[in-house]
Structure 1
Amino acid sequence: MESDSMTEHPIVDTDGVVRAACDLESLFRLLADDRRRQVAATLEAITDDCVDLEVVLAAVAAANGDSGPARDDWRVEFQHVHLPMFEDVGVMEYDEHDGTVRWYQCDVLTNVLEAVGANRSAIVR
Structure 2
Amino acid sequence: MSHLDTVFTALAHPLRREVLSVLSGRDDGVAEIEELAERLEGVSEAESTARLRAALHHTHLPTLDEAGLAEYDPRSGAVRYRESPMKELVESAVRSSRDPRSRKSRSSTDS
Length-normalised TM-score, structure 1: 0.57
Alpha-carbon distance change, 49 to 89 in structure 1, aligned in 2, over 3 angstroms: same
Match of 1:35 in 2: 15
| Structure-to-structure mapping, 1:82-97, within 5 angstroms | 82-97=60-75
**What is the letter of the counterpart of residue 88 of structure 1?**
E
Match of 1:61 in 2: 41
- Residues 35-87 of structure 1: per-residue CA shift (max 9 Å, x gap): 11111111111111332221122111134486xx5222111111111111111
**What is the letter of the counterpart of residue 101 of structure 1?**
V
Alpha-carbon distance change, 99 to 74 in structure 1, aligned in 2, over 3 angstroms: same
- Residues 73-124 of structure 1: per-residue CA shift (max 9 Å, x gap): 1111111111111111122222334321122113528xxxxxxxxxxxxxxx
**Alignment partner of 2:48: what SS?**
helix
Shift of 1:24: 3.0
Which structure's residues are more often helix, by fraction? 2
**What is the letter of the counterpart of residue 27 of structure 1?**
V
Which structure's residues are more often strand, by fraction? 1
Q: Are the aligned partners of 2:57 and 2:74 in contact in 1 as well (CA < 8 Å)?
A: no
Structure-2 separation of matches of 1:94 and 1:74:
16
Match of 2:99 in 1: none
| Structure-to-structure mapping, 1:1-125, within 5 angstroms | 23-64=3-44, 69-106=47-84, 108=86
Length-normalised TM-score, structure 2: 0.63
Unaligned segments of structure 2, at least 5 residues: 88-111
Q: Are the aligned partners of 2:10 and 2:64 in contact in 1 as well (CA < 8 Å)?
A: yes
Unaligned segments of structure 1, at least 5 residues: 1-21, 110-125
- Residues 3-36 of structure 1: per-residue CA shift (max 9 Å, x gap): xxxxxxxxxxxxxxxxxxx943222110111111
